[in-house]
Structure formats: structure tokens, C-alpha cells
Amino acid sequence: MDEEILLIDKPAGVTSFGVVARVRRKLSEKAGKKVKVGHTGTLDPFATGLLILLVGKGTKRSNEFLKLDKTYEACVHLGSTSTTGDPEGEIEETNASPVSLEEIQNILPKFIGEISQRVPNFSAVKINGERAYKLARKGVDVEMPVRRINIYSLEILDYKWPELKIRCHVSSGTYIRTLGEDIGKELGTGAYLTALRRTAIRDYRVEDATALEDFMQ
């Protein structure tokens, strides 16, 4: 196996590294020798959707895929916050009053275009050589970097208080967890993501991917 791009639909509850390990084991069993497999950008454990894996000599091409634009669908739960911005953190209700669809439509344009976004504490970014999420778990307070990102489009797919479903097309390096939290701050309700699905990476689409469960059979 000289070079191959493999599209996998990641399920919730498994890390991206876990997906790589399982795919590597399966391909190595088939080939009768160790096969190199690498990812081109991770998804949070609670998230689902498209992972591009590179196999064999294709692993040398990872830089081609790291900076590609991405499309996500997310469920934003208003009226509560999470210490991690997702279901894995400590959830706290804010007792905020429900907001209207019109109020949400009015604030979303503020997030479209080139904006600054602070990297979340629970992320894989390295701070002084250590992953930020490891420092966060230890309770170490660090100043997280601020990045310039681009949100090309942001649309409402569905809304019924407190659940807001959105679709966003964004530049590489955008944290959708942070976007959800920032929407909640702008509305004065607080918010965190209850679900996140990556549907596309540039021209690669999740409809063309193989479910991890099916791949492992």
C-alpha cells in the first residue's frame, strides 16, 4: 500500500487517535505487516464526522490537509455553560430567560468574517511544551493564545429554546466550541455544545466516508 487517502466517519465517544489506532490495526492485519496511518486534524471525543486519514507513504502529505477549510453542524444549548464547552465538562445552568429567533438572527452577523478567537483551555494546543487540556485538568491557570480565524458562513438550521442548531463554514483552526460559547455570551444566556459533526473538509464530504464500525468489520 504505497499511498492512500481514507475517509472515516468518526463516532462519538472515541478519540481521533483511537480511530487511527483501530484503522492501523485493521490494515496491518490485512497486509500482514505494520501499515503507517496518520490523521490530518483531530475531532473532539464527543464530536462525530469526517476524518481524513493518510495511509502508507501518504502520511508524508499531511501538510496538504491541515489548513483546509471545514464545515460543521453543531447543537448549541443555550441557558447553561460547561467548563469544557461541551458535554464532558461540569454543566451549570444560568437561569437565563429564553431568547427569540429574531434575537439570535440579529447577533450572528457579528461572528461572520475574519474575527479573533481565544483558544479554549481544553484543547490540544501546546503551552510551554505541554498540552493545554492537561494543564487545565491540573487546575493550572494559563493565558491562552488568541487567533485570527475566518467564519465564511453561519446559518441557523433549527431553533427551539434552549436548543439552537447551526451550520458553519470556517477556516482551519476555528474552535466551534468557542463559537458556541461566544454566541451564548453575546445573547447573555451562556451556552455550550451538546453535539458537533464535521460534514466536510474542503471538497471531501462525510457522505463519502466509511463509518468506523463498518470499516472494522
**Whether the predicted pLDDT of 129 surpasses 80:** no
**Whether the predicted pLDDT of 37 surpasses 60:** yes
**Whether the predicted pLDDT of 12 surpasses 80:** yes
pLDDT of 20: 96
Of residues 144 and 36, which shows the higher confidence score?
36
What mean pLDDT is predicted for residues 203-208? 97
**Whether the predicted pLDDT of 175 surpasses 60:** yes
**Homologous superfamily of 3-66+203-215:** Pseudouridine synthase (3.30.2350.10)
The third-level CATH classification (topology) of the domain covering 70-201 is: Pseudouridine synthase (3.30.2350)
Q: Is the fold of 3-66+203-215 the same as that of 70-201? A: yes
What mean pLDDT is predicted for residues 168-192? 96
Which secondary-structure segment (H or E) carries 114?
strand 113-118
Let me know: does 9 contact 214? Beta carbons within 8 Å: no
Dist. CA 167–CA 201, nearest whole Å: 14
pLDDT tens digits, residue range 74-93? 999 999 999 889 998 999 99
Active site residues: 44
pLDDT of 207: 98
Q: Which of 92, 78, 87 is nearest to 185 (CA)?
A: 78
pLDDT of 32: 95
Residues with Cβ within 8 Å of residue 157, at least 6 apart in sequence = 73, 165, 166, 167
Dist. CA 144–CA 69, nearest whole Å: 23
**Whether the predicted pLDDT of 128 surpasses 90:** no
pLDDT of 74: 98
Residue 2 pLDDT class (50, 70, 90 cuts)? very low
Let me know: does 177 contact 82? Beta carbons within 8 Å: no
What mean pLDDT is predicted for residues 30-49? 93
pLDDT of 140: 63
Residue boundaries of the structural domains of the chain = 3-66+203-215, 70-201
- From the centroid of its chain, how far is CA 173? 10
Torsions phi, psi of 215, nearest 5?
-65, -35
pLDDT of 131: 66
Across the chain, what does the average pLDDT equal? 91
Q: What type of residue is 50?
A: L
